[in-house]
């Protein structure tokens, strides 16, 4: 199975049309058709349902397309990182949870690129579960995750600062006039919760009981879309401060009391072999924070 054939397959998946894929790749249509047939024969599965010129991925094709995306992303990152001279160059891929503590990482990136201008950084906004999966496959070098999260499989560096938990509510809500909210105020409310693993367990710990009395009406992995649900009146979003700018908006962030906070960590897979660019980034971040690397 050649990388060239996987790129043909990826192009056809993007267009679901062999003619357009061939034109974009500057390859003849019969060449791509023959390569796809050979690929299906090699794999022993049908990747596309064919209805005339219309193509549709089979279930096996959907799975294979996902895997090919991961394989080619890892290949491209690897090639970028090994084609080095004496200067440090390459791409550092960081999966990021939403947190204003990411500013600390951003400042390190600024310093790093001044020292090594040929280093590029690719940021992917996602949640802790996706970060964990991509770190395992090697498509991410690092992840920025919010606690609580299971870090047993990772080495990590604790980032400075904490974010406070609270409720994102419409300005029209009766709660919007409050300076703070207690956990009791969340009972019998329609809540929108983060999908991150451990959030519900964290709520149970806060409440000190196994069945808090509130109604989960939706979940989110990134807060912006959740804020639109709040604006639409679907429910109130339990979140951390500093992510959504509520100035001149129809939303208000109200902190919880007693004060409930969460920290942020940079994580990477144990025994990971870093590219020169990734190693330079980690060394700079540790120096900026004057913190030891932790297992």
**Does residue 22 sit in helix, strand or coil?**
helix
91-160+263-289 in CATH: which number? 3.40.190.10
The yes-or-no verdict on residue 88 having pLDDT over 80 is: yes
Residue 229 DSSP symbol: H
Q: Output the DSSP codes for 118-150.
A: TEEEEEEE--HHHHHHHHHHTS-SEEEEESS--
Asked if the domains at 3-79 and 162-262 fall in one CATH topology, the answer is no
Say how far apart CA 194 and CA 132 lie, in whole Å.
16
Residue-wise pLDDT tens digits, 45-67? 999 998 777 888 999 999 999 99
Question: By CB neighbour count within 10 A (0-12 exposed, 13-18 middle, 19+ buried), where does 202 fall?
Answer: middle
pTM of the complete model beyond 0.75:
no
Looking at residues 178-186, what average pLDDT do you find?
92
Can you give the pLDDT at residue 289? Answer: 81
Pick the CATH number of 3-79 from 3.30.460.80, 1.10.10.10, 3.50.50.60, 2.130.10.10: 1.10.10.10
Looking at residues 283-294, what average pLDDT do you find?
78
Q: Smallest Cα–Cα separation from 222: which of 262, 251, 203, 194?
A: 194
Instruction: Confirm or reject CATH 3.40.190.290 for domain 162-262, answering yes or no.
Output: yes
Using the Cα atoms of residue 266, residue 148, residue 160 and residue 151 in order, give the sign of their dihedral.
negative
Say how far apart CA 47 and CA 66 lie, in whole Å.
12
The yes-or-no verdict on residue 218 having pLDDT over 90 is: yes
Tell me the domain boundaries of the chain. Answer: 3-79, 91-160+263-289, 162-262
Query: β-pairing, 154-170 with 190-194?
Result: unpaired
Residue-wise pLDDT tens digits, 255-287? 999 998 889 999 999 878 899 999 999 999 998
- Is the bond preceding residue 258 a cis peptide, omega within 30 degrees? yes
The yes-or-no verdict on residue 229 having pLDDT over 70 is: yes
- Is the bond preceding residue 148 a cis peptide, omega within 30 degrees? yes
Question: By CB neighbour count within 10 A (0-12 exposed, 13-18 middle, 19+ buried), where does 210 fall?
Answer: exposed
- Is the bond preceding residue 228 a cis peptide, omega within 30 degrees? no
* Average pLDDT taken over every residue of the chain: 88
Which residues touch 198 (CB under 8 Å, ≥6 apart)?
A: 148, 149, 150
**Does residue 278 sit in helix, strand or coil?**
helix
């Amino acid at each position: 199975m050649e990388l060239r054939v996987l790129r043909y397959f990826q192009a056809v998946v993007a267009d679901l049309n062999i003619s357009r894929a061939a034109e974009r790749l500057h390859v003849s249509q019969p060449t791509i058709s023959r390569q796809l047939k050979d690929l299906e024969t090699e794999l022993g599965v049908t990747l596309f349902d064919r209805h005339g010129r219309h193509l549709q991925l089979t279930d096996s094709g959907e799975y294979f397309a996902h895997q090919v995306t991961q394989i080619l992303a890892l290949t491209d990152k690897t090639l970028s990182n090994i084609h080095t001279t004496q200067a440090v160059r390459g791409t550092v891929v960081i999966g990021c949870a939403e947190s204003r503590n990411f500013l600390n990482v951003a400042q390190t990136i600024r310093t790093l690129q001044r020292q090594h201008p040929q280093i590029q950084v690719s940021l992917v906004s996602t949640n802790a579960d996706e970060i964990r999966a991509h770190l395992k496959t090697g498509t991410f070098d690092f992840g920025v995750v919010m606690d609580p999260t299971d870090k047993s499989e990772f080495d990590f560096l604790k980032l400075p600062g904490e974010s406070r938990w609270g409720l994102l509510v419409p300005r029209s809500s009766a709660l919007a006039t409050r300076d703070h909210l207690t956990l009791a105020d969340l009972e019998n409310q329609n809540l929108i919760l983060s999908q991150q693993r451990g959030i519900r367990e964290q709520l149970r710990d806060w409440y000190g009981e196994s069945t808090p009395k509130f109604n989960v009406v939706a979940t989110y992995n990134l807060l912006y879309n959740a804020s639109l649900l709040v604006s639409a009146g679907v429910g109130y979003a339990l979140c951390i401060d500093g992510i959504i700018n509520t100035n001149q908006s129809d939303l208000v962030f109200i902190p919880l009391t007693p004060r409930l906070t969460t920290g942020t960590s940079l994580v990477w897979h144990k025994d990971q072999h870093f590219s020169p660019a990734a190693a330079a980034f980690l060394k700079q971040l540790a120096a900026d924070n004057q913190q030891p690397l932790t297992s």
